[in-house]
Amino acid sequence: MNHFTILVSRYDPDNEAAPHETQYELSNDGDLSVLDALRRIRQTYDGTLAFRESCGTGKCGSCAVEVDGKPALACQHLLSPGSHRISPLRSFPVIRDLTVDVGPYESRLKEVHPSLVAACADHESDRQAGAVLRDLALCTSCLICEVGCPVHEVAPERYQGPAIMTAISRWMADPRDGRDRVEDASKSGVDSCASCYRCSNSCSRGIDVFTSSVRFAREVELSKGYSGTATDRQMVETFREFGKLFAIKEAPLSVKYGSSQDNGATTGVFLGCMLDVRHQDWGEQLLKRLGESGMPFIVPEGQVCCGGPLLWKGRVREAKEAARKNLEVFKAAGVRRIVTACPGCKLTWTREYPHLLSEEALQSLPQVVDISEVVAAAKNAGHLSSKTVGYFPPCHTQGHDGKDSDPPGVLLRTLNEAGANYVQATLGECCGGMAASSDPQVARKLGSRVIERAVNAGLEVLVTTCPFCVENLSRAARALNAPLSVINMVEIV
């Protein structure tokens, strides 16, 4: 028998000044969905508990609420035994209890004309509706992606959010439509999205929202002659010249330590632009730790940028080139498992390479793991003894089940060894790093929010595993003069 303590946000605007939480206790044999819990509470404790539902099977999107601060469909989300909070979708006016007014969303949707504007007299729907259109046709406007979008949350005036982008891209992808949807996308702030994938991970219909709505719109923008911001253009030129996102001034580590021949080791190191070029100290640290672990490895020479940041900006051609080159280099080196210390690189290799490479090429796609999965705890963190330390989960480490916000085990063990005081804190879902090149304002807002929360939580040190997060958060901490240092896990582990 499982026990549940459910704290539900209650609010009766006719008789109360503000929402408050009421606690209810339930027991159940087996799984309990949020909707079943709410129905039981209504049946047993208070028949006036207001919440939305319709199909009850995940198809209509009516029942979205926030569960422990994360938006989800009540009918599909299963509660683990223990304590949970259920609250209404945060960005909408509450009518009563958990029922919100989605009118504000409908008004914004109207602005992007979510209806066919016929380009010509032939209205025949596409012979074979493309993959993007098929994906987006599933959207029910449940608004989970909008409520969960960090950029839309901190800067709604700059970015309309993934739900609006989905409505725009659904018509952009429809060959019959003649309206300038690129203009709509641009006005809606498509360039401000931080490519964090949160929308894709949380979509109640399993739509790859980021890829089909945002990235697709960026690709179409480029194909229509838009050239991107100056920083984006520079990134592409640098890639063309150096195969990396940063200009190479001294030898990259993959050249210094690189080998272009199979040395028998099946583990290969993918350094990524940050560790190979820009922050070689982190790269050196990574290689040193691998050496200490006693595991044979190779650093294939000739590796290029993973292609992720290029892909996310819609530059699919360049991303494919990067993917092909990397696979070639790692295959020639006999690598079957890749170790990396950049979540963005890991995400690109595991999630995107299968879409960028041919079926044949995919036969030799190596397994990819993060450094935290292969090293044991270290004794490098002595300087953190008795400091209050927290962890920021990079957006690209998050998957569909939302459990990836926990710090890696090896980090906790290292901090424990060092006598540091680890404190769990909810800091946000995105540092804003990937928005920096096209919307620095958004990047600043997101970064500042994390730092402010970290300081409020009493943290003196913030550890994270993504080099871009370290950069963006360090910048934010400096700008705020915050008494907080941001470090890369690879420095201490």
Partner 1 sequence: MAVVRQVDVLVVGSGVAGLYAATRCAQQGLSVAVLDKGLAGRSSASYSAKGMAVFGPWSVKEDSEEQHVDDTLKSGRYVNDPRLVEAMVKGAAGGILGLESMGMLFDRNPDTGNLALHGKAAGHAWPRDIGFSDITGKLLVDTLLSQARMLGVSVLSDHLALDMALGAEGVKGCFVLDMDAGEVVAIEASVVVMATGGIGDLYPLTSNAVQNTGDGIAIAMRAGATVKDMEFVQFYPATVVYPPVLRGVNTNSIGLGAQLLNSAKERFMSRLEPEKLEQVTRDRLSQCIYLEIMEGRGTENGGVYLDATSIPREKYKAHFPSEWRLAEHAGLDLGKDVVEVAPGAHYYMGGIEIGPDGSTDVPGLLALGECASGVHGANRLANNSLTDVLSFGKIGGDSAVAVARRRSRGSIGAREVNEAEERIRRRLGGSAVAGAAIAGRMKQQVRDVMGQYVGVVREARGLATGERLMNELSRAASEVTVSGGMRCNPELLRALEVQNMTLVAGAIIKGATLRKESRGSQYRTDFPGEDAAWQRNIRIRYMRDSGEIVADAGTAAPAAGGEKT
Q: Which residues bind partner 1 (CB under 8 A)?
A: 12-15, 31, 33, 36, 42-50, 52-62, 75-76, 78, 95-97, 99, 101-102, 110, 113-116, 118, 123-129, 133-134, 137-138, 140-141, 171, 174, 176-177, 204-206
Q: Choose between 117 and 251: whose C-beta lies nearer to partner 1.
A: 117
Backbone φ, ψ for residue 133 (5° rounding)? -65, -40
End-to-end distance of the chain based on CA atoms, in angstroms? 41
Number of alpha carbons in the 13 Å side-chain half-sphere of residue 167: 23
- Shortest distance in whole angstroms from residue 111 CB to partner 1: 12
Closest CA to 150 of 110, 192, 113: 192
- Shortest distance in whole angstroms from residue 168 CB to partner 1: 13
Residue 322 vs residues 192, 237, 259, 474: alpha-carbon distances, Å: 24, 14, 19, 29
- Shortest distance in whole angstroms from residue 89 CB to partner 1: 13
Q: Which residues sit opposite 457 in a β-bridge?
A: none
Residue 224 vs residues 17, 180, 221, 482: alpha-carbon distances, Å: 52, 10, 5, 43
- Shortest distance in whole angstroms from residue 2 CB to partner 1: 13
Contact 93, 106 (CB under 8 A): no
Q: Choose between 32 and 490: whose C-beta lies nearer to partner 1.
A: 32
- Shortest distance in whole angstroms from residue 204 CB to partner 1: 8
Distance in angstroms (rounded) separating the CA atoms of residues 81 and 5: 8
Q: Choose between 134 and 224: whose C-beta lies nearer to partner 1.
A: 134
- Shortest distance in whole angstroms from residue 58 CB to partner 1: 5
Q: Which residues sit opposite 391 in a β-bridge?
A: 463
- Shortest distance in whole angstroms from residue 287 CB to partner 1: 40
Q: Choose between 51 and 353: whose C-beta lies nearer to partner 1.
A: 51
Q: Choose between 54 and 385: whose C-beta lies nearer to partner 1.
A: 54
Q: Choose between 126 and 406: whose C-beta lies nearer to partner 1.
A: 126
Q: Choose between 101 and 241: whose C-beta lies nearer to partner 1.
A: 101
CA dihedral 437, 441, 445, 447 (to 10 degrees): 30
